[in-house]
């Protein structure tokens, strides 16, 4: 199953603007095998967060991008939740990576 197919099955579906932004952010990664989706979501979330933090302003114009970061991280952890050891390891790695992004 592809990540795109998995996303279509999720309920409730994200609002259209958020769904579109997730698609723009992931690009061709949407067609990756579901097993690769957590890593792709986290990498995309990190890249988008880095972009947001690099902007000169952080007003309302970044709200959709921050929601997208949140959605991508949430999807990654939802997919990882079947394996608690992997989930725990990825949570620690993700916290360090996102915190490092904020410090840059």
Q: Tell me: pLDDT of 58 over 80.
A: no
The percent of residues above 70 in pLDDT, for the chain, comes to: 98
DSSP 8-state code for residue 1: -
Domain that holds residue 99: 3-103
pLDDT band, residue 48 (cuts 50/70/90):
very high
Count of domains forming the chain: 1
Per-residue pLDDT at 15: 95
Q: Tell me: pLDDT of 47 over 80.
A: yes
Per-residue pLDDT at 98: 80
């Amino acid at each position: 199953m592809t990540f795109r197919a998995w996303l279509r099955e999720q309920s409730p579906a994200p609002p259209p603007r958020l769904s579109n932004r997730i698609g723009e952010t992931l690009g061709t990664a949407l067609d990756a095998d579901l097993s690769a989706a957590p890593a792709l979501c986290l990498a995309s979330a990190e890249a988008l967060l880095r972009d947001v933090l690099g902007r000169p302003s952080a007003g309302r114009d970044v709200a959709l991008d921050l929601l997208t970061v949140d959605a991508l991280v949430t999807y990654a952890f939802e997919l990882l939740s079947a394996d608690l050891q992997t989930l725990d390891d990825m949570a620690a790695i993700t916290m360090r990576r996102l915190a490092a992004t904020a410090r840059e």
